[in-house]
Structures are given as structure tokens and as C-alpha cells.
Amino acid sequence: MKPIISILAAFFSAALLNAQTSGESTDKLAQGYVYIHTLRNEPSIERNGAELRLKRRDIVPANGLTIETVKGQCAMLVLSNRTVIFVKGNAKLTIENFEQATPFDFQLDDEYESTHSQLRISLDYGEIYMAMLSPRPTSRTIIKTTFGAVEPKTTAMYISCDKKNSKFAIFNGQAVFCGLDNKRDFIQQGQIGIVEELESKKMYPLKIEPMSSLQEDRHEKVLELCKLAMQSTEIKLSREGNFSARRLVPKDFFLRKHNMN
């Protein structure tokens, strides 16, 4: 089993943090957008140091957007590739770069544009949950933390980061971790990967732990909210690159043909 895991880890990590990958889609990518789904107790939102006064249902370009929360605050963001990010209290998240394919047909749905995207975010500290469409070779997501970066190939994950360690929980699929010294490791479904500060490391690059039933139940409750936000938000992209989104009322939600990815 270990040789197989090593081969898979090498395969997935070959592309991690590279600016370009062979075989990657050559379709034109345009800047992605963020739909503000939920803001609780007015968390701080900035772009390049300038404060933004945003409210629920606002739509803004994603690049450079920083969300910072304190205790009692939270934010839920729906990106224009249908990725949902839930930022808990006492956290700081920055969307460093987000690009996705532009529409290619008048009779389009969001499937093509949502699955041809490049997303890079950084988590300075705190906890976030992410719900995503099923992994595609044409779509990449990289999350950076204090102790390294992870590239997930999953539809649901949890990440936490503080001064002592970073944790990555994978609920299906897998993910590749890349440390600050480019050493790599592999996280599988149902596992938590932990990277610790140098003085306290027992296993490197990652300490792998199985996810307990209690941990899984606790995280799944939040991830279900993220999945609901994904399914209940209607996203439209025009050939001109315009982005629109709206939260569906119950009638629309139940009559809508859902993408169950």
C-alpha cells in the first residue's frame, strides 16, 4: 500500500504550486468574482489595505479580497466557480488570485466555466470550511498557510491554522501537502493532516491522524450549510464577462435542476 500511496502523492504533487502545467486548458481565463452570501456582525473586508463596506448579496471581483473576523463574526462566500468558503470567527483569509474560463456559447450553463478555474487563497490564521464541485483536471485550488500549502482534489474540506500548526481534514477524495521546504505528503479521505512548528514535529512533513466520528459529525454540520449555499445560489456568466448571482427562494430552489456534483 505504501508504494501505491507514494506514487499517487508524487503524481498529484508534480503540479502543486507550479505556475503552469502541461496539458492544462488553454482557454482564456478571466478574473473571477465573489458573491457575499452571508455576513454576520460586520466582519472586516479589505482589498489591498482599503476598507470595503460590503453587505449581503453584493458582488465584487475576487482578487486581493481579505476577510478578517473576530469572535462572534463569520462570513460565507460563493465564488463564481461555485466554490463556497465559510470563514469562522477569529480568522483571516485572502483570495490572492482567482481566474476562470469565460463563456463560449450563448446556450451555456455554468458547468464549463465552473470547472475551468484557478484559485489561490491564503489563510493567515483561523478556521475555514470549503465546499467545491467534483475535481476536474482543468481546475486547481491551492490554499496556503503558515506552514505550507495544500492542493485538494475533494468536494469538502476543513482547514485551521495558528502559530503552532496547520490542520487539513479531507472528507472525500485526497489532497497533496507541500511544506515550506518543498517536502510533500499525501492526505486521503477520512484523514487529518497536521504540520507543526519545527521544534515539536514528530513526523514530517505531516502527522496523519484518522478522523473520529465525533470530529466528522461536527464538521459535516457546517459543510452541509456550505453545500446548501452552493445549491441555493444561482450563478450566471455572460459572454461579456459579467457575473450575476442570486439566492433562490424556496419555490425556485425546489424547481431548479440541480447540479449534484
Residue 145 lies in a domain: yes
Residue 253 lies in a domain: no
> Which residues, listed in sequence order, are joined to residue 45 by a DSSP beta bridge?
67
CA-wise closest residue to 185 among 173, 195, 198, 199: 195
Give Dmax (Cα) for the chain.
57
For residue 204, give the H/E element and its range. Answer: none
Segments forming the whole domain that contains residue 61: 2-16+31-240
- Is the pLDDT assigned to residue 171 strictly greater than 70? yes
- Give the per-residue pLDDT at 1: 52
Residue 206 lies in a domain: yes
- Give the per-residue pLDDT at 25: 41
Query: How many domains does the chain fold into?
Result: 1
CA dist list (Å): 164 to 151, 170, 201: 21, 20, 10
- Give the per-residue pLDDT at 138: 85
Q: How is residue 30 annotated by DSSP? A: E
Beta-carbon neighbour count of residue 50 at 10 Å?
Answer: 7
115-163 tens-digit pLDDT: 789 999 999 999 999 999 988 888 999 999 999 999 999 999 999 999 8
What is the model's pTM? 0.82
194-213 tens-digit pLDDT: 988 755 555 568 899 999 99
pLDDT band, residue 17 (cuts 50/70/90): very low
pLDDT band, residue 28 (cuts 50/70/90): confident
Residue 21 lies in a domain: no
DSSP secondary structure letters along 79-116: ETTS-EEEE-SSEEEEEEEEEEEPP--TT--SHHHHTS
- Cα 170 to its chain centre, rounded Å, is 12
- Cα 164 to its chain centre, rounded Å, is 22
CATH number at residue 8: 2.60.120.1440
- Give the per-residue pLDDT at 21: 38
Residue 71 lies in a domain: yes
Residue 42 lies in a domain: yes
User: In the structure grid, which three cell numbers stand for residue 91, read together?
Assistant: 480568522
